[in-house]
Amino acid sequence: MGELILGLLLVLLSILIYTQTGDLPSMNESQLDAGSFPQFIAILLGLLSLILVIKQSIHLLKQNQNKEQSANIKETLLDVYREHKLVLITLSLIFLYIILIQIIGFIISSIAFMIITALVIGPRKKKDVITISSIAVILTIGLYFFFQNVLQVRFPSGVFF
């Protein structure tokens, strides 16, 4: 199922890229211009994705013929959700983290992100909280000063500093 959706998305992507290339300026007829190489790749990608989609649909149809759909859709969806719950939460945490870096600065948001993620994933015992908190503080501050002083990288400092 997932392959089918991914394949369809890739077909759409190739069509999008292919149509976009028309707007690109070209030098003259005799040369390959900025759009030709992506166009060539988009055609190949579109064709292969189409083959994948067709193969997958045939495969799925055969499977459906062999056995009646036993499990109902709601249950399978719930199962998928349970399996990937942590992945989804962590991805949204990363998204929040990136936004927060720009608002409250690198140091605070990194420490907060590490502690919250560790607590979401792992057990919430007192000992674990202390371990991850100390690791988070030491690591963040250490890296901050290393990059700031040795590599002259400026991290976003946020509104507080």
Binding site for another protein (CB under 8 A): 2-3, 6, 10, 13, 17, 20-21, 24-25, 27, 30-38, 41-42, 44-45, 48-49, 51-52, 55, 82-87, 90-91, 94-95, 97-98, 101-102, 110, 113-115, 117-118, 121-123, 128, 131-132, 135-136, 139-140, 143, 147, 150-151, 153-156
Distance CA 101, CA 90 (A): 16
Query: Would you call 14 exposed, middle or buried from its count of C-beta atoms within 10 A (0-12, 13-18, 19+)?
Result: buried
Q: Which is nearer to another protein, 27 or 159 (CB)?
A: 27
Asked if 106 and 144 touch (Cβ cutoff 8 Å), the reply is: yes
Q: Which is nearer to another protein, 61 or 80 (CB)?
A: 80
Distance CA 97, CA 111 (A): 10
Least separation, in Å, of the C-beta of 3 and another protein?
5
First to last CA, the chain: 50
Q: Which is nearer to another protein, 64 or 122 (CB)?
A: 122
